Amino acid sequence: MLLQESYKKSKTEKDSIDKPLVYIILTLLFFGLCIMFSGSAVTAVREFSDTMYFVKKQFLWIVVSFVFFLIFANIPYKVYQVYSHFLILFAILLLVAVFIPGIGKSVSTYYGRNFHRWISIGTFQLQPSEFSKIAVIVYVSATILKLKKKSENKFQNYILPGIVITVLLTLLVTEPAFGTTVEIFCMIVTLIFIAGFSIKKLMFGFISMIPLVFVLIYHVGYRKKRIEVWLEPYKYRFDEGHQLVSSFKAFAEGGWFGKPLSTGYSHRYLTYCHTDFVLATFVEDFGFIGFVLLYLLFLLLLTRSFLLLQKVKDQFGFLLGTGILSMLGIQVLINLFVVTGMLPITGISLPFISYGGSSMLATMISLGIFINITKKGNLN
């Protein structure tokens, strides 16, 4: 009887999750919903005559995402290593689907560019590029382990993985989703570096991509224009640069403690005040103090995750967790740099905070996987 009770207790301890990490995630979700109310109210009234329109939709996505978070937190993460090829193939097929009439949804811009980033599922729209990030993390982590186990370090071993990743990145660039492409590239570089591959090879691979980046920027109209707007936003302040200039103004007017909710400049003139540029709206409403508190929460999430990751026993779990951690960290930094004008506009959302179901769902699924990796039974 005592042995049975001891076994049950031991099993329960092994399956227990890191509660502080879950509390941080829940706090960010709550924080995000409050920010959504402040940031979207004016737009919601103007477009839908309902102050709570975006808040209600975001709350629905949070509930759905949290259910998926719980599901993936209970799926043994080693399963993904076995099915990594199927996951990356499925991600590629979803990226192809955005170009198929009747399945994919195209959105035209005022400068004549068509964006193919969404697929329609009934009344819902999903953005496959968000989920492709998870598939890439799984595939690259599994592939790195396979390559390290092979005794011969032949060039041929790298051809198939290289083709697969190139196809996926090409589809992302074609959508176009250049910000996600950069994010995935940074994630891959991080995983390769952490895995201990040659730094010289890594740097050579990075340098070899630079000509491609220049081709993409200067020979595709909208990317070239975005660079020009980024370099001289005030020159284009009445058209393409309006977004960035409005963001600067929102940051400046926020001061230390912010302005009364939903009364600031950004609520009336910032186009994406509740999506990609929600941070500017937040700072205008809650000031520099609110900004610091928000990023302290992000820092707490990333630091706690990093400390847990150092204790993971399994190599695949460590790489998978590193990929997820880098995905979140890179996304937070890119969004911050874009909104403050340190990087060109990329369309990268702020995790937990920006309005959008696909981003929320992908974030919570990846964190569910991370929670499973860092269960006590998987740690030293």
| Inter-helix orientation angle 128-149/315-339, to 10° | 140
pLDDT number for residue 87: 95
Number of domains present in the structure of the chain: 1
For residue 25, tell me if it sits in a domain: yes
Grouping H, G, I as helix, E, B as strand and the rest as coil, residue 277 is: coil
Q: How many CB atoms lie within 10 A of CB 28?
A: 20
For residue 5, tell me if it sits in a domain: no
For residue 293, tell me if it sits in a domain: yes
For residue 63, tell me if it sits in a domain: yes
Digit-by-digit pLDDT tens for the chain (380 residues) are: 433 444 444 455 556 888 999 999 999 999 899 888 888 887 888 888 888 889 999 999 999 999 999 999 999 999 999 999 999 999 999 999 888 887 777 666 555 566 777 787 777 788 999 999 999 999 999 998 888 776 556 666 677 888 888 888 888 888 778 888 889 989 998 998 888 876 655 565 555 556 556 656 554 666 677 777 777 777 777 777 778 888 888 888 888 888 877 666 777 767 767 788 888 888 888 889 999 999 999 999 999 999 999 999 899 999 999 999 999 999 999 999 988 888 888 878 999 999 988 999 999 999 999 999 999 888 87
pLDDT number for residue 242: 76
Return the H-helix or E-strand segment holding 336.
helix 315-339
Give the distance from CA 154 to its chain's centroid.
Answer: 33
For residue 323, tell me if it sits in a domain: yes
Sheet of 114-121: strand order equals 104-108, 114-121, 124-126
For residue 28, which of 354, 356, 348 has the smallest C-alpha distance?
Answer: 354
pLDDT number for residue 20: 93
Quote the domain boundaries for residue 357: 18-378
For residue 7, tell me if it sits in a domain: no
User: How far apart (Å, rounded) are the C-alpha atoms in residues 342 and 230?
Assistant: 8
Q: Classify residue 349 by its DSSP letter.
A: P
pLDDT number for residue 181: 87
pTM of the model: 0.89
pLDDT number for residue 262: 67
For residue 183, which of 141, 229, 226, 134 has the smallest C-alpha distance?
Answer: 134
pLDDT number for residue 271: 72
For residue 12, tell me if it sits in a domain: no
For residue 121, tell me if it sits in a domain: yes
DSSP3 helix / strand / coil % (the chain, rounded to 5): 70, 5, 25
Grouping H, G, I as helix, E, B as strand and the rest as coil, residue 91 is: helix
Residue 321 contacts residue 303 (beta carbons within 8 Å): no
